[in-house]
């Protein structure tokens, strides 16, 4: 159990993030990629990402084992802004810190040669880390970013209602079922037994889509304190941006709803799943699937009690020709 000790100054300096943190989402999604947890929430994302992720990005898995320690330098605590600025801070990590944190990781899991090259500060190894992060983000996070922002903003709005109504202490007691507030200590179940004294630094509360079941934090107590906690999301909430958002030419050709349906069917889905992910009625989803099938873009087959849709070769060519960033 983690115990976070607050002073009155810490309460005044506690903040609640309004947006997902791209580097925390990269790290925690790497964890999710290696397990089978949360099938209804992450199953389609996991299946697609495993199928499409290039080997050059898969090397990041060595730095992010699904259980236990991952290096703190992957989630710089002081970065502000988007993904690009965060990666720049990761790549500016000092050689001594690379060495210290990779050695902590190697105690549990000896790494490949390129991680050892990071330890000695090889420029090519640092550059390779940045390239892997960009490629991974392009395939596993960026296409889903709008739905992730929607979930985090909804959580923020709900939490702010507690904050405005009764203050920070009321908010702390309602962050997550694993978190309890008994002034002046915030306890978090599921983390190693330790005490974290904020000493006037305050605490950043960071909601996350890929954080699963238990909140997490940075290992080093001297870094700016952050508590990352899971947001609630229902099956289908994590989905790729619509074809209209990511590929206006395809939406102009097919119409935004039909283009979105083609995008969803790229993963293979039932009519019910198609309706949920496109935000249309079951009858509407069936109608869109029928039009796409008649055009030769998808096939439909019965799978038990459900009807399942998949892309044809022509459908895949149309979708791939949209110029989307993840193809």
Q: Which of 70, 86, 4 is nearest to 32 (CA)?
A: 70
Residues with Cβ within 8 Å of 262's Cβ and at least 6 positions away in sequence, in order, are 243, 250, 254, 292, 297, 298, 311, 315, 318, 319
Residue 165: is its pLDDT beyond 70?
no
Cα 32 → chain centroid: 9
Residue 162: is its pLDDT beyond 70?
no
Sorting pLDDT into bands at 50, 70 and 90, what band is 325?
very low
Mean pLDDT for 191-198 is 94
Instruction: Please give the pLDDT value at position 324.
Output: 42
233-261 pLDDT, tens digit each: 888 889 887 544 555 667 777 887 888 88
Residues with Cβ within 8 Å of 178's Cβ and at least 6 positions away in sequence, in order, are 188, 189, 190, 213, 214, 215
For a pLDDT cut of 70, what percent of the chain falls above it?
90
Six token digits for residue 51: 């199928």
Q: Which of 101, 112, 103 is nearest to 74 (CA)?
A: 101
Rounded CA separation 24/175 (Å):
18
Distances, alpha carbon 281 to alpha carbons 40, 94, 116, 264, in Å: 20, 53, 53, 15
| Residue in the block written with tokens 């990779």 | 102
122-131 pLDDT, tens digit each: 888 899 999 9
Residues with Cβ within 8 Å of 192's Cβ and at least 6 positions away in sequence, in order, are 2
């Amino acid at each position: 159990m983690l115990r976070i000790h607050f002073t009155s100054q810490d309460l005044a300096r506690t903040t609640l993030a309004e947006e997902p943190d791209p580097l925390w989402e990269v790290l925690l999604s790497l964890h999710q990629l290696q397990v089978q947890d949360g099938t209804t929430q992450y199953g389609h994302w996991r299946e697609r990402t495993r199928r499409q992720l290039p080997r050059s990005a898969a090397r990041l898995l060595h730095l992010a084992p699904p259980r236990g320690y991952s290096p703190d330098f992957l989630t710089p605590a002081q970065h502000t802004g988007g993904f690009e600025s965060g990666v720049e801070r990761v790549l500016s990590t000092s050689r001594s810190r690379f060495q210290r944190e990779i050695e902590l990781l190697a105690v549990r899991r000896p790494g490949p040669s390129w991680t050892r090259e990071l330890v000695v500060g090889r420029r090519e190894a640092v550059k390779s880390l940045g390239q892997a992060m960009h490629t991974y983000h392009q395939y596993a996070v960026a296409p889903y970013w709008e739905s992730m922002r929607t979930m985090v903003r909804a959580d923020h709005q709900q939490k702010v209602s507690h904050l405005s109504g009764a203050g920070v202490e009321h908010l702390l007691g309602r962050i997550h079922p694993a978190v309890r507030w008994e002034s002046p200590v915030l306890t978090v179940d599921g983390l190693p037994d330790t005490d974290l004294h904020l000493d006037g630094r305050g605490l950043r509360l960071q909601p996350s889509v890929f954080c699963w079941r238990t909140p997490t934090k940075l290992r080093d107590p001297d870094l700016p304190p952050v508590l990352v906690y899971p947001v609630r999301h229902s099956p289908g909430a994590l989905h790729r941006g619509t074809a209209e958002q990511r590929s206006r030419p395809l939406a102009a050709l097919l119409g935004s709803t039909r283009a979105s349906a083609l995008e969803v069917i790229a993963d293979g889905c039932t009519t019910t799943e198609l309706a949920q992910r496109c935000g249309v009625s079951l009858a509407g989803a069936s109608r869109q699937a029928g039009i796409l099938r008649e055009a030769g873009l998808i096939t439909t087959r019965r799978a038990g009690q459900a009807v399942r849709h998949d892309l044809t070769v022509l459908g895949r060519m149309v979708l791939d020709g949209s110029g989307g960033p993840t193809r």
